[in-house]
Structure 1
Amino acid sequence: MRSLDLHPIFRNNRDIDQAVRSFVFNAHSSGETVAEIITGKGSQRLMTHVLAYLGQRHMRRFYRQVKKDPANAGRIVIHFT
């Protein structure tokens, strides 16, 4: 399973969006079935931003489902088609 840790770049929205976009495109094109994005627990602002970005039309076509991990509040799980 591929993993992206956003802790090192959490302060710059443009860098976050670019990292998430690149990560999702690469995971999708390599045939991954599941990937994770680690946002950390904190105030959940980073998770909210990432989920909003993943919900945009140009991103939704690359995955089947995105959900928060119920066992880990700082983790997003992406299921690809």
Structure 2
Amino acid sequence: MVRNVCRWAVTITANAKDGFKIHTRRWVVERTFGWFVRYRRLMVDYEYHTETTEAVIQAAMIHRMLRRLHPNP
């Protein structure tokens, strides 16, 4: 059904022979999500439209970048 409706290819992978494998860049994503704790509107998804949530995320990241460029006002 997913293949017909969304045109996605679903594949099932075999278990890794080496056991648990750590993803090399996962910490970057986890750190970024951790930054959202400072922004109340991103703690819980209050928004009805995803576009609004995307805009709030962009505003939060712009705020982070500006504070990094000029730390003390």
In terms of fraction of residues, the more helix-rich structure is 2
In terms of fraction of residues, the more strand-rich structure is 1
TM value normalised by structure 2: 0.34
TM value normalised by structure 1: 0.31
